[in-house]
Chains A and B, each alone.
Chain A
Amino acid sequence: MIISANRLKVAVLLLEVSTTFVAMAQRRFDPPPPLPAEEAARQAELGSRGVRLHDPSTIVKCKDEYWIFYTGRDVRSYRSKDLLKWEAGPVVFSNAPAWVAETVPANRSGRDFWAPDVIQVGDRYLLYYSVSSFGKNTSAIGLVTNPTLDPDDPKYQWTDQGVVITSSPRDDFNAIDPALFQDANGSLWMPFGSFWGGIKMIQLDPQTGKRIAPDSPVYGLAHYDSIEAPFIYRHDGKYYLFVNWGFCCRGTNSTYEIRVGRSDKVTGPYRDREGKDLLLGGGMQLLGTEDVFIGPGHAGILKEDDKFWFGFHFYNAAQRGSSTYAIRPLRWDQDGWPVVDRK
């Protein structure tokens, strides 16, 4: 049978394309090589929990368990009883919230959610999550609530509360990377942002978990050439703003580092140790690439009894740059600035 030249070319092209896709898929789903026992133990001593995730939320406690939520389809979670051993918890969403398709049409599946954060306010848990697409600022931060995080509790039920804030090319911010905290007066605040005009913040109503008013002020807190993943922590009467500088998602070439500034007022100005305003590019380095811990980012702090724990993710140089969770002890120096210890 004579096959025409054109058909042959098409067939070869199809073959090439399909094998490329198979190779790509293989690579994506290939788990990274397991660490040799010695290296795993060494990393564990330096805080690595061997748990693979990206953009961890702050650690939240429910009953006698600790929970973290992270980037992934349907928002994923890990749970632990001791902060050392973590096991996969349930995903949050079982289908895409109705509003996603219209508000962020570029979000591939309508369920590809990034960088959630969780806070317990009153008798329920508020989980905020980012809906976006890479490289664009047409985004939204959504909210779902649950009376409990324990999936075995009969009251366990995530309820969609809709959109908290959106962004478009008409705005000078990207509405992703929410973080939640309550100030000294119990007011609820949400710093957020990634690139564009930098880190912003709005005030939320603790009763509803939503923005206090449709056109409430958007405060600017920090800016840099590459900045995202804010986190604010109140300690000893001051507010500490942690941010990521650099680029994520490049495996061992990731340049993330964690920077910090502080303020007496929750709305700023936040200044670093040298007094430089974070809005003008200030920021004291708290944690940078060290050892196999490449590009640390996405800070979260947990206080247990009198000890502070600093959670973050890093790209593991010993595992092809696979993003991994770590927790290290945190202390405050004599001037009140945070220090992350190696062990």
Chain B
Amino acid sequence: MRTRNVANPCHLWLRAVFKAMAMVTVLSSTTVADQQPVAPLGYSDRATNRALLKVDFEAEPLTGWSLLAEAGATGQVQREFSPRGDNTNSHSLRLTVMNPGRRCGVCNEGQPGFSVPSGGWYDLAFAARSEQRENNRGYGLTVSLESEDGGQVLARTTIPEVGGDWKNYTVALHAYAAGSKARLVITLSEPGTIWLDDVSLTAREPHTGPSR
């Protein structure tokens, strides 16, 4: 009777192949990470960058975030229980735009004394999702840094497709004007609802301008 302790040579080969594949995967992912450092969400990738804002919306009540509605716009901003990923991150900011008017979105007053020099570079990272839409179209989302009273836009950028399941987004902002006590504004250009989470704004040190 053949003893069952003798391993089938086929199995040995297969295990060796799978082990090799696993090793290659581990090695290659380490190499890629070294060549292209990617900032983990919410933190700057260089120690010299200044973190201006970092919010996960877990603290209650919601402070510092308010609805921005201009010229006939109507909408709603609230902190909501909407779990995603691990259980520690269970709240997010929900922005609903009913009528976009001239502008409708959410505004964060930021730290007092958040000053923006002309030519300054900023990175905004956030996670977002939207409800399911026809044709799976995302929302056009505009992010801007503005002077305290909103009278002047200091930097602005737009993302054409924000929507679907939770995704991470990163955008760069380049200030073309200077301002003190700047605020962060995020608006939607169409009626709809999005959820935002893990919002972080960092300022790049002046000497680390654009990569090319």
Contact = CB atoms under 8 A, between A and B. Distances in A.
A203 to B, nearest CB: 15
A154 interface: no
B156 A134 contact: no
Contact residue range for chain B? 20 to 34
A172 B172 contact: yes
Contact of A225 (B138, B140, B161): B140
Contacts, number: 65
Interface in B30-56: none
A224 B174 CA distance: 15
Contacts of B173: 172, 197
Interface of B is mostly: strand
Nearest to A135: B161
Contacts of A198: 156, 158
Interface in B130-185: 135, 137-138, 140, 142, 153, 155-161, 170-174, 176
B210 interface: yes
A171 B211 contact: yes
Contact of A223 (B138, B140, B156): B156
Interface in A242-264: 247, 250
Contacts of B156: 197-198, 223
A170 B172 contact: yes
Contacts of B90: none
A171 B211 CA distance: 8
Contacts of B172: 169-172, 197
A195 B158 contact: yes
Given A170-B211, A214-B212, A247 B174 contact: no
Contacts of A224: 158
10 contacts: A135-B138, A172-B171, A195-B140, A195-B160, A196-B171, A214-B212, A224-B158, A225-B142, A247-B160, A250-B137
Interface of A: 134-135, 166, 168-172, 194-198, 214-215, 220, 223-227, 247, 250, 279-280
